[in-house]
């Protein structure tokens, strides 16, 4: 089973779309766009070679029940339950359909988003749209390189991002979790570079990891570093993008994590928002607030086609 483009690099430009079903009994437009997406992106890649056009489609738990009542459900696909710590909250927000569009030029990403919206029509209504961009040399708005912990080799990325034999009916699929963070840039910029580096766990200039004994236990890359029962480090594939509306003072990061099991992502979030041990929360959350949180299932290419056709 071939995964959708979940292991692609974040890219230069991205559009993140979250929709809700407007009329759950009107499934034809939704299945039409799911069927059309692969051909649409292939066409654009052919017309604009080298522009890295791609689009990943995900389906929420409630929508899965409405759209595909005769299908078995992925075992971890359910509405995200908020994570509430003493200081920080990872909220749960609604979402039935998710589209992650990437391209080297925003115009091409817009072309895909426009065709999606046109096909869906009023069968859905928009919950959120975020237009992301590559900031400098792949940094988040806060000035640090983002996505450093992603697996480098494609084989490793697929291992952590795509379902294997653990869910044979959904092999090649992925669990996609999205959050929109807004940063308090005034408070962040008030920190010294050294204090910022201790919050992230890396050097700001060259992206080197802080050594043990210097890196605090509540550094971002410390609390999100988790291991399995056998001691193996567990990873997800991030495709985060910066976004901003400078005139309104909005500066943010759109987090998206693709994983073969949502349990890995949730454990990272619990470490960030509750702490392990409790109270050892992610220092970055003192400057970054999560405003959304939604879980989607991304079917393999073959399953997506079957779902669209009703087979």
What confidence tens digit (pLDDT) does each residue in 220-279 have? Answer: 999 999 887 877 888 999 999 999 999 998 999 999 999 999 999 999 999 999 999 999
Reply yes or no on whether 286 is catalytic. no
**Sign of the Cα pseudo-torsion (142, 208, 284, 56, in order):** positive
Mean pLDDT, residues 22-47 taken together: 89
d(CA 114, CA 233): 40
d(CA 189, CA 281): 20
What pTM, to 2 d.p., does this model score?
Answer: 0.95
d(CA 247, CA 221): 31
Residue keyed to tokens 């567990």: 234
pLDDT-derived band at 26 (thresholds 50, 70, 90) equals confident
> Among the residues of the chain, which ranges form H helices?
28-47, 61-67, 106-120, 154-161, 185-189, 193-200, 220-223, 262-273, 301-309
Mean pLDDT, residues 45-53 taken together: 91
Highest mean pLDDT among 16-25, 37-46, 81-90: 81-90
From the CB of residue 239, how many other CB atoms can be counted at a distance below 10 Å? 28
Strand, helix or coil at 125?
strand
d(CA 238, CA 273): 18
Highest mean pLDDT among 142-156, 169-183, 202-216: 169-183
Distances (CA, A) of 71 to 67, 161, 172, 301, 306: 9, 22, 17, 16, 11
Q: What is the pLDDT of residue 296?
A: 98
Q: What is the DSSP letter of 177?
A: E
Q: What is the pLDDT of residue 232?
A: 82
What are the percentages of helix, strand and coil residues in the chain, rounded to 5?
30, 25, 40
Q: What is the pLDDT of residue 231?
A: 76
Strand, helix or coil at 297?
strand
d(CA 198, CA 229): 28
In sequence order, the β-bridge partners of residue 56 are: 100
Q: Is 155 exposed, middle or buried (0-12, 13-18, 19+ CB in 10 A)?
A: exposed
Q: Is the peptide bond before 277 cis (omega within 30 degrees of 0)?
A: yes
Within 8 A by CB and 6+ apart from 300, the residues are 1, 2, 3, 4, 162, 170, 171, 172, 173
Q: Please give the backbone phi and psi of residue 269, each rounded to the nearest 5 degrees, phi first.
A: -65, -40
High-pLDDT (> 90) share of the chain, %: 78
Q: Is the pLDDT of residue 311 over 70?
A: no
Q: In the structure encoding, which two tokens stand for residue 236, read together? A: 């997800």
Active-site annotation holder among 25, 146, 165, 282: 146
d(CA 186, CA 191): 9
Q: Is the pLDDT of residue 96 over 60?
A: yes
In sequence order, the β-bridge partners of residue 179 are: 255
Strand, helix or coil at 190?
coil
């Amino acid at each position: 089973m071939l995964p959708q483009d979940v292991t692609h690099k974040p890219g230069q430009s991205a559009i993140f779309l979250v929709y809700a079903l407007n009329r759950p009994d009107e499934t034809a437009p939704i299945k039409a766009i799911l069927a059309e997406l692969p051909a649409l992106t292939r066409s654009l890649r052919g017309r604009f070679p080298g522009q890295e056009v791609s689009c990943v489609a995900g389906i929420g738990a409630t929508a899965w029940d409405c759209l595909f009542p005769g299908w078995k459900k992925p075992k971890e696909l359910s509405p995200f339950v908020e994570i509430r710590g003493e200081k920080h909250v990872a909220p749960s927000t609604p979402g039935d359909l998710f589209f992650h569009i990437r391209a080297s030029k925003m115009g091409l990403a817009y072309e895909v988003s426009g065709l999606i919206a046109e096909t869906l029509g009023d069968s859905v209504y928009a919950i959120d749209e975020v237009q992301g961009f590559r900031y400098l040399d792949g940094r988040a708005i806060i000035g640090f390189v983002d996505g450093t912990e992603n697996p480098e080799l494609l084989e490793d990325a697929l291992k952590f991002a795509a379902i294997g034999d653990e869910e044979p009916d959904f092999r090649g699929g992925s669990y996609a979790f999205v959050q929109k963070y807004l940063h308090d840039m005034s408070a962040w910029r008030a920190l010294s570079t050294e204090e910022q580096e201790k919050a992230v766990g890396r050097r700001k200039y060259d992206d080197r990891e802080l050594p043990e004994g210097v890196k605090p236990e509540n550094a971002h890359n410390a609390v999100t570093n988790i291991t399995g029962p056998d001691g193996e480090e567990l990873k997800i594939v991030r495709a985060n993008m910066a976004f901003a509306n400078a005139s309104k003072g909005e500066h943010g990061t759109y987090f998206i994590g693709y994983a073969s099991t949502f349990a890995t992502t949730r454990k990272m979030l619990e470490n960030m928002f509750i702490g392990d041990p409790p109270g050892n929360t992610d220092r970055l959350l003192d400057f970054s607030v999560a405003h959304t949180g939604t879980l989607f299932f991304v079917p393999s290419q073959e399953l997506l086609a079957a779902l669209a056709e009703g087979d």
